[in-house]
Amino acid sequence: MGAKWRLVLGDVMKKIGIADTMFARADMGSLAEKTIKENHDGIKVIRYTVPGIKDLPLASKKLFDSGCDLVIALGMPGGKEIDKMCAHEASTGLINAQLQGGKHIVEVFVHESETENDLELAAIMKGRTVRHSLNAIDLLFHPENLTKRAGTGQRQGGKNAEALTL
């Protein structure tokens, strides 16, 4: 009976997929999983790790196919010119995967070139991962929370920008 009850519960639980990479220099995926579990009960998390960011679109698609209602795709593009192109290709693929699957992929990319030292890099990776994991929860359960902050200059992993009045 217990087993069956859990199965039924599982079917109605929301599932979030976490797609991350071996290339990134910090374990953003585990932090995203921890943040989600600490901030919302009853979400099933499925991890899927791939070599690099260009593998994330297919990973996200596979997570959708496994029943995920939303995917968080985390990566750290390197600092070279070629890495920027890889990030562009990955982002384009993530948007296509969203249009194909009809569900959100929250992209959490931190470019190695955003900072000049590892300490700051880790701080941005941490901040952006946490903030976007909370955004993911809001997109699934409380979309009205995002509308309340529409046009307020929110920045993930840094100080918010100044808001202007129209």
**Range 29-48, binding its own copies (CB under 8 A):** 29-31, 47-48
Q: Which span (4-12, 23-31, 37-45) binds its own copies, by CB under 8 A?
A: 23-31
Tokens encoding 90: 């990955």
3-state secondary structure of 79: coil
**In the complex, minimum distance from the CB of residue 5 to its own copies, in angstroms, rounded to a whole number:** 28
Q: Are 75 and 53 in contact (CB under 8 A)?
A: yes
Asked if residue 107 binds its own copies (CB under 8 A), the reply is: yes
Q: How many CB atoms lie within 10 A of CB 49?
A: 15
Among residue numbers 116 through 135, which ones bind its own copies (CB under 8 A)?
118, 121-122, 125-126, 129, 132, 135
Asked if residue 90 binds its own copies (CB under 8 A), the reply is: yes
Letter for the amino acid at 103? K
Asked if residue 8 binds its own copies (CB under 8 A), the reply is: no
Applying CB under 8 A, what is the total number of residues that bind its own copies?
75
Strand order in the sheet with 14-21: 43-50, 14-21, 70-75, 105-109
Q: Which of 72, 64, 77 is nearest to 109 (CA)?
A: 77
**In the complex, minimum distance from the CB of residue 12 to its own copies, in angstroms, rounded to a whole number:** 21
